[in-house]
Chain A
Amino acid sequence: MVKKLFKHEMYAYLRTILPMHMILIGIGLLGRFVQLFENDSTAYDIVFWSSVVAFCIGVVVCVLLTFIFGIRRFYTNLFTSEGYLSFTLPVTPTQHIFVKNTVAFIAQLFSIVMISIATCVITFGDVCVELFRALGYIIKQFYIQYSQHTTLFILEIIVTLVVVISTSYMLFYACIALGQRAKKNRVACAVGIFFAYYMILQVLATIAIIIVNTFYEELHIEEILNYLYYHPIFTNHLGWCLAIVISLLLNLLYFAVTKSSITKKLNLE
């Protein structure tokens, strides 16, 4: 069942996201084409810079729309009239959430790959080579500084990205699912819950800072910071791993909230 859900979910994404990114690649091609007529005229400058701006706007739009589509799809496919079909399929809520989350993540990945391709297209030639050279140089510098740890760092960064993307979708799912518990104005409630949660996080962070400041001595903060400062490799590993663990825990929490809302309190109207 998960496989079939996957298939249909992927298709639903592809039909909106693929054309969007194809247009971006089209803009890239057009931009590259403009560069063929390079000269010193103002007219060329105007056209060139408009193509660059258009491309940048295109990239931002693609990233944003892909993300928004992932959230919107969760809402429309489960909690609007489409939900009548989705929730009468012989599929468990866990499978629904899992597939929605994974495919949303894959869409983000797809978007990143497509944007990279589009960037290669618009910069095709010397600039592109230059870009790759710069990237290679940065990685090389890292290897020089951290030697074999670099591979680990790259791995940690990738895992963090994966988990953070999944968790951020899951947070929106949880808000939407919680909003469904309301008697009316469910979408507004979801938005409200999101901001309320955000504020609570801010308050918690503030409290944490206050605690750290107040008990600066008792908590040996000075020593800890010093230790971290003189052990950059350890600090980096610790930072990424903490990010991964915290994000994973939050992911599980959001998932549990979403699942229980769907299993126990589903009320399609």
Chain B
Amino acid sequence: MSEILRCENLTKKYANTTALNSINLTLESGKIVGLLGPNGSGKTTLIKLINGLLTPTEGTVLVNGNKPGVKTKCNVAYLPDNSYLNSWMTVKQIIDFFKDFYADFREDVAYTMLNRLGITPTTRLKTLSKGNKEKVCLILVMSRNAKLYVLDEPIAGVDPAARDYVISTIINNYNPEATVLISTHLISDIEQILDEAIFIQNGDILLQKSIDEIREENGKSVDALFREVFRW
């Protein structure tokens, strides 16, 4: 298995807080990995560092051996935790936008998925419901044939039916050689589809293990272990 992501002594400090504290982390290709931690634990910071939206205070992050840049951006599909699309665009316009910039974007896949949701290409993004807008974002990201998918809180704040939709969309569309990194604090919904779990707290990585290992060693679900570790 080849390595897709490597963080070495990765540190990120804000004004007076340390968001990531010299973490070391490697991810292999072909896995679905959960980045699990409470709010404010450093999940989003790590994800933004991977995408080059933040500059590390110290240390390095390498995607497929490269520092964040044009090369890594061709290979990483990123779903931010907030809505980031130009709301004046129509669905078709945003699809054309993705198609123009990402060579790995599969237009047909995107349209098939949109069709299934009953979203027509001429719809303006701002007229979509919040749930549908989030689904469109997910569809755009999962329609890419990327090497690393980074999904920041894809299931936070969605109803259970939408959660199932998100999970099946991820499983259905990711390329088996690619790695999917999903950050969340809602573990019970997602732990079944994970290969590996990373626990992160106050900028430190507490644990990185396969789900079956965690279940076997602790005799409990990852969710239960999480609640135990992060009890206040």
Which chain A residues have a beta carbon within 8 Å of chain B's beta carbons?
1, 4, 7-8, 12, 15, 81-85, 87-92, 183-184, 264-268
Confirm or deny: B88 has a beta carbon within 8 angstroms of a beta carbon on chain A.
yes
B26 to chain A: closest CB distance in Å? 22
> Are A84 and B53 closer than 8 Å at their CB atoms?
yes
Contacts of A87 in B (CB 8 A): 51-53
> Are B53 and A85 closer than 8 Å at their CB atoms?
no
B76 to chain A: closest CB distance in Å? 7
* C-alpha spacing A102/B83, complex, angstroms: 28
* C-alpha spacing A7/B93, complex, angstroms: 12
Q: Chain B binding site: helix, strand, loop or mixed by DSSP?
A: loop
Confirm or deny: B159 has a beta carbon within 8 angstroms of a beta carbon on chain A.
no
A113 to chain B: closest CB distance in Å? 25
> Are A91 and B52 closer than 8 Å at their CB atoms?
no
Report the nearest A residue to B14, measured CB to CB: A183
> Are A90 and B102 closer than 8 Å at their CB atoms?
yes
> Are A88 and B53 closer than 8 Å at their CB atoms?
yes
> Are B101 and A266 closer than 8 Å at their CB atoms?
no
Number of A-B residue pairs with CB-CB distance less than 8 Å in the complex they form: 61
Do A4 and B53 contact each other (CB < 8 Å), given the known contacts A15-B88, A81-B84, A85-B84?
A: no
* C-alpha spacing A46/B88, complex, angstroms: 40
> Are A91 and B54 closer than 8 Å at their CB atoms?
no
Partner of A88, one of B51, B54, B82: B51
> Are A268 and B54 closer than 8 Å at their CB atoms?
yes
* C-alpha spacing A264/B71, complex, angstroms: 17
Report the nearest B residue to A81, measured CB to CB: B84
* C-alpha spacing A4/B51, complex, angstroms: 21
Do A90 and B53 contact each other (CB < 8 Å), given the known contacts A8-B100, A82-B84?
A: no
Residue interface mask B67-88, A partner, CB < 8 A = 1: 0011101101010101111101
* C-alpha spacing A184/B74, complex, angstroms: 31
Partner of A81, one of B15, B48, B82, B101: B82
Q: Chain A binding site: helix, strand, loop or mixed by DSSP?
A: loop
> Are A7 and B54 closer than 8 Å at their CB atoms?
no
* C-alpha spacing A83/B88, complex, angstroms: 16
> Are B70 and A92 closer than 8 Å at their CB atoms?
yes
Report the nearest B residue to A8, measured CB to CB: B97
> Are A183 and B15 closer than 8 Å at their CB atoms?
yes
Q: Interface size on B (CB < 8 Å)? A: 26
Confirm or deny: B175 has a beta carbon within 8 angstroms of a beta carbon on chain A.
no
A51 to chain B: closest CB distance in Å? 32
* C-alpha spacing A204/B52, complex, angstroms: 38
Do A4 and B55 contact each other (CB < 8 Å), given the known contacts A183-B14, A183-B15?
A: no
> Are B83 and A88 closer than 8 Å at their CB atoms?
no
> Are A265 and B84 closer than 8 Å at their CB atoms?
no
Contacts of B102 in A (CB 8 A): 89-90
Partner of A83, one of B53, B76, B101: B53
* C-alpha spacing A183/B55, complex, angstroms: 13
> Are A84 and B80 closer than 8 Å at their CB atoms?
yes
Closest 5 A/B residue pairs (Cβ)? A84-B84, A90-B73, A183-B15, A268-B53, A4-B100
> Are B55 and A265 closer than 8 Å at their CB atoms?
yes
* C-alpha spacing A81/B80, complex, angstroms: 9
Do A90 and B70 contact each other (CB < 8 Å), given the known contacts A82-B86, A85-B85?
A: yes
Contacts of A84 in B (CB 8 A): 53, 78, 80, 82, 84
> Are A266 and B76 closer than 8 Å at their CB atoms?
no
Report the nearest B residue to A267, measured CB to CB: B54
20 contacts between A and B (CB under 8 A): A82-B86, A83-B84, A84-B53, A84-B80, A84-B82, A87-B53, A88-B53, A88-B78, A89-B101, A90-B70, A90-B102, A91-B70, A91-B101, A92-B69, A92-B70, A183-B15, A184-B15, A266-B53, A268-B48, A268-B54
Contacts of A91 in B (CB 8 A): 70, 73, 101
**Interface hub of B73, B82, B84, B102 (most chain A Cβ within 10 A):** B84
Contacts of B78 in A (CB 8 A): 84, 88
* C-alpha spacing A92/B78, complex, angstroms: 17
* C-alpha spacing A87/B51, complex, angstroms: 8
Residue interface mask B87-98, A partner, CB < 8 A = 1: 010000000010
Do A88 and B76 contact each other (CB < 8 Å), given the known contacts A7-B100, A183-B15, A266-B52?
A: yes
**Interface hub of A12, A82, A85, A264 (most chain B Cβ within 10 A):** A85
Partner of A264, one of B55, B74, B97: B55
